[in-house]
Amino acid sequence: MDWTHPGVRTSLGLLPTVLVSHALSNVNDVVDRLVASTLTTGAIAALGFGHRLVTLPHGLLSHALLQVLYPSLSARLATEGPGAAGLLLRRGMVTLTLLLPVATLLAVESATIVQLVYGRGRFGPEDVAVTAAALRAFAPGLVFAGVRDLALRGLYAVNDRRLPIIAAVAGAATNVAGDFSLGPLLGVTGLALATSGSQAVSCAVALPGLGRGGGRVQVSGILRALAPVAVAGAVSGAVMVLLSASLPATATTAGAMLRVATVGAAGIVAHLVMLWLRRVPELREMRSLARRGRSRRRG
Estimate the crossing angle of helix 64-79 against helix 94-108, to 10 degrees: 160
Q: For residue 62, is pLDDT > 80?
A: no
How far, in Å, CA of 266 to CA of 234, rounded?
13
Q: Which residue has the higher pLDDT, 297 or 150?
A: 150
The per-residue pLDDT for range 114-155, each reduced to its tens digit, is 999 998 888 999 999 999 999 999 999 999 998 888 888 878
- DSSP 8-state secondary structure symbol assigned to residue 159: T
Q: For residue 248, is pLDDT > 60?
A: yes
Q: Any residues with CB less than 8 A from the CB of 295 and at least 6 apart, and which?
A: none
Distances (CA, A) of 139 to 100, 101, 142, 271: 9, 10, 5, 17
Which whole number is the average pLDDT over 279-298? 64
How far, in Å, CA of 154 to CA of 56, rounded?
23
pLDDT band at residue 287 using 50, 70 and 90 as cut-offs: low
Q: For residue 230, is pLDDT > 70?
A: yes
pLDDT band at residue 81 using 50, 70 and 90 as cut-offs: low
Q: Which residue has the higher pLDDT, 112 or 24?
A: 112
**Is the dihedral angle over the CA atoms 62, 75, 161, 225 positive or is it negative?**
negative
Which whole number is the average pLDDT over 54-58? 89
Which whole number is the average pLDDT over 213-224? 61
Q: For residue 293, is pLDDT > 90?
A: no
The per-residue pLDDT for range 252-263, each reduced to its tens digit, is 889 999 999 999
pLDDT band at residue 159 using 50, 70 and 90 as cut-offs: confident
Per-residue pLDDT at 78: 58
Per-residue pLDDT at 191: 96
Per-residue pLDDT at 289: 57
Q: For residue 11, is pLDDT > 70?
A: no
Neighbours of 257 (CB within 10 A): 13
Per-residue pLDDT at 106: 96
How far, in Å, CA of 273 to CA of 9, rounded?
46
Q: Share the mean pLDDT of the chain.
A: 82
Q: For residue 160, is pLDDT > 90?
A: no
How far, in Å, CA of 104 to CA of 271, rounded?
11
How far, in Å, CA of 149 to CA of 252, rounded?
38
Per-residue pLDDT at 257: 94
Per-residue pLDDT at 180: 96
Distances (CA, A) of 156 to 11, 60, 113, 141, 218: 9, 22, 36, 22, 15
Per-residue pLDDT at 270: 94
pLDDT band at residue 279 using 50, 70 and 90 as cut-offs: confident
Per-residue pLDDT at 141: 94
Q: Which residue has the higher pLDDT, 133 or 228?
A: 133
Burial 222-253 (b: 16+ CB within 10 A, else e): beebeebbeebbebbbebbeebbeeeeeeeee
Per-residue pLDDT at 86: 62
As a whole-number percent, the residues of the chain with pLDDT over 90 amount to: 42
